[in-house]
Amino acid sequence: MANTATLPGRPEAVDPELLALPAPPQGRRNATLVLMAFVVTCSLALCASLRYDLSYFALSFSDAGATELGEVTDVDMGTLRSNGYVSVDGLPLSAGAVRFRRVLSGTEYVIFPLAGQRTVFVAIPASQANDPRNEWSGRLVTFRQLGGRMASVESYFSESLGMPVTGESFVLLADETPHDYVWSAFLALLCLGFALTNAFLIVRWFRKINDVPDDAAAA
């Protein structure tokens, strides 16, 4: 048999040509580890940002329909619960309407308060802005829970229009049912897959090889 390097308890286990191969550059190795750690961090952060979307999607497993709130002017705002599927009646206040565009979808929306109060706003696609309508159903969520998706709109209402809009003000995303958020489950699973795969590779990278399997030694 050709000359081979030996390991304790495993003679003739490793080809010396393999041992003679140069080690990977330290800088490239460190950069790879940093990149994998960055992927894990970003994937977990994205999963965390989807928690409200996932919570709303979970409502699709319930047989209950939209919660009827009645006239918006009769609603006790202190009893409202965010991230629910609700239905409410109210006249749109077009004078306070603001147009904005969602970054990912590119769809233009109109958001406006319902007459008689300044706590509940409604967001609908701009293509439906001229449709006569007094009944609204969809996802009721706060500006704060929508995060960056509504931050600029919230600022415009409070700073430019002088409306008392805060992160705790409510937005009803019209016609968005829990079933429409199935994408959040797939995206969360994808992110978890990236995070777990890269975490496994990082752990494997640092794992010490203390022995050689029997099939490798017999080869």
pLDDT digits (tens, 9 = 90+) for 35-65: 999 999 999 999 998 999 999 999 989 877 8
Is 75 in the same domain as 166? yes
In sequence order, which residues have a C-beta less than 8 Å from that of residue 147 and are 6 or more positions away?
Answer: 49
Is 69 in the same domain as 16? no
Report yes or no on 55 lying in a domain.
Answer: no
Structural domain including 192 reads 9-48+184-218
Contact assessment for residue 72 and residue 90, using Cβ atoms and an 8 Å cutoff: yes
Beta-bridge mates of residue 120: 170
Domain total for the chain?
A: 2
Is 188 in the same domain as 170? no
Q: What share of the chain is helix, strand, coil (3-state, %, to 5)?
A: 45, 25, 30
For residue 209, pLDDT beyond 60: no
For residue 94, pLDDT beyond 90: no
Question: Which of the four pLDDT bands, split at 50, 70 and 90, describes residue 32?
Answer: confident
pLDDT of residue 2: 46
Is 35 in the same domain as 120? no
What backbone phi and psi angles, to 5 degrees, belong to 17?
Answer: -65, -30
Lowest-pLDDT range, 38-42, 66-70, 160-164?
160-164
Report yes or no on 1 lying in a domain.
Answer: no
Alpha helices for the chain (secondary structure H): 16-19, 26-49, 51-58, 143-146, 151-155, 182-206, 214-218
Is 110 in the same domain as 83? yes
Report yes or no on 27 lying in a domain.
Answer: yes
At 128-147, the pLDDT tens digits run 877 888 999 999 999 888 87
Report yes or no on 117 lying in a domain.
Answer: yes
Is 97 in the same domain as 32? no
